[in-house]
C-alpha cells in the first residue's frame, strides 16, 4: 500500500476513538490526543523505511524516514545478520511483523527519552509540557500495527509472525484501483462511525465500544475486501 493510503487509513481508523476522547476528556488533555495522533501517523509510515521508494523517505517525512532507516532499521538489521548467517534484508521482512513493532516501540523510547530529558534540563521546559512527547511514543506502535493490518489487505501480504508463519494477504493491488476503492470504503465507513459517536453523549462505555467497533469494522472490511477488489477490476 502507498504511503498516502497508509497515512489516510490510519488516521481514519483512529478518528472515531479520538473523537470520543476529545468529547470525554477535559480540554487540557487535547494536546496529549494530538501527540497521540502524531505518534500514530509516524508509526503508520515507519515499517516502510525498508523500501527506498516509500513516502517516508521523501518530502516532509524524509527526516523521520532517514532517522528510522539509519538509526533504527540498519543497526537492527546488522545485529540480526550477525546473529544469523541466513538472515536476508528485504522489504516486508521483519519490519513488517509483530517483532518489528515490538523492536520499534522499545527502540524509540531512547530518542523520545533523550528529547524529554533535554527539554527538561537544557531547555528548562516545564515537566507537564515535556511529558507530552511520551504520548507520541504511545501512539507509535498503534500506527505501526495499523500499517501491518493495511498491508495485510494487499497481495504481498504481511508475515505477522516473521520469520515463522505464512503471509496474511488480500486482493488489493498497490497503486491500483482496488487500493483507491478500499481507501474510499475506509473513508465512508469510519467517517460515518465518527459522525455517529460524535453525536452520542461521551462516556467510558462509549469509548470502549468505539475501540471495539473500530477493530470489528477492520475485520468486516478485511472480509469484504475480495468483493471490493472484484468490483475494481
Do 43 and 146 contact (CB within 8 A), yes or no?
yes
Residue number with CB closer to Zn ion (13 or 33): 13
Residues 131 and 150: their CA atoms lie apart, in Å, by: 30
48 is an interface residue for Zn ion by CB under 5 A: yes
Q: Which range in 79-87, 144-152, 172-180, 221-229 contacts Zn ion by CB under 5 A?
A: 144-152
Q: Which range in 18-26, 48-56, 58-66, 211-219 contacts Zn ion by CB under 5 A?
A: 48-56
Residues 196 and 110: their CA atoms lie apart, in Å, by: 39
Residue number with CB closer to Zn ion (48 or 179): 48
Do 43 and 103 contact (CB within 8 A), yes or no?
no
Nearest to 107 by CA among 75, 135, 64: 75
Closest approach of Zn ion to the CB of residue 222, in Å: 16
179 is an interface residue for Zn ion by CB under 5 A: no
Residue number with CB closer to Zn ion (26 or 59): 59
Residues 177 and 46: their CA atoms lie apart, in Å, by: 24
Residues 132 and 105: their CA atoms lie apart, in Å, by: 17
50 is an interface residue for Zn ion by CB under 5 A: no
150 is an interface residue for Zn ion by CB under 5 A: no
Residues in contact with Zn ion by CB under 5 A are 47-48, 151
Amino acid at each position: 500500500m502507498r504511503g498516502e493510503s497508509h497515512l489516510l487509513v490510519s488516521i481514519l481508523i483512529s478518528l472515531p476513538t479520538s473523537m470520543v476522547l476529545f468529547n470525554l476528556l477535559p480540554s487540557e488533555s487535547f494536546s496529549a490526543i494530538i501527540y497521540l495522533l502524531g505518534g500514530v501517523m509516524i508509526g503508520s509510515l515507519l515499517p516502510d523505511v525498508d523500501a527506498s521508494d516509500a513516502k517516508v523517505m521523501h518530502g516532509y517525512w524524509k527526516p523521520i524516514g532517514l532517522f528510522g532507516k539509519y538509526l533504527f532499521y540498519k543497526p537492527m538489521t546488522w545485529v540480526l545478520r550477525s546473529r544469523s548467517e541466513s538472515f536476508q534484508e528485504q522489504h516486508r521482512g521483519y519490519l513488517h511483523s509483530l517483532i518489528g513493532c515490538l523492536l520499534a516501540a522499545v527502540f524509540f523510547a531512547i530518542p523520545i527519552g533523550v528529547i524529554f530529558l533535554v527539554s527538561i534540563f537544557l531547555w528548562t521546559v516545564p515537566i507537564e509540557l515535556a511529558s507530552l512527547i511520551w504520548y507520541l511514543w504511545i501512539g507509535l506502535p498503534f500506527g505501526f500495527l495499523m500499517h501491518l493490518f493495511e498491508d495485510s489487505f494487499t497481495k504481498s501480504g504481511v508475515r505477522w509472525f516473521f520469520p515463522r508463519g505464512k503471509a496474511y494477504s488480500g486482493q488489493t493491488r498497490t497503486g491500483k484501483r482496488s487500493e483507491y476503492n478500499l481507501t474510499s470504503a475506509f473513508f465512508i465507513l469510519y467517517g460515518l462511525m465518527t459522525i455517529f459517536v460524535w453525536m452520542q453523549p461521551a462516556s467510558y462505555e462509549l469509548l470502549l465500544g468505539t475501540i471495539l467497533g473500530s477493530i470489528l469494522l477492520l475485520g468486516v472490511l478485511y472480509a469484504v475486501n475480495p468483493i471490493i477488489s472484484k468490483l475494481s477490476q
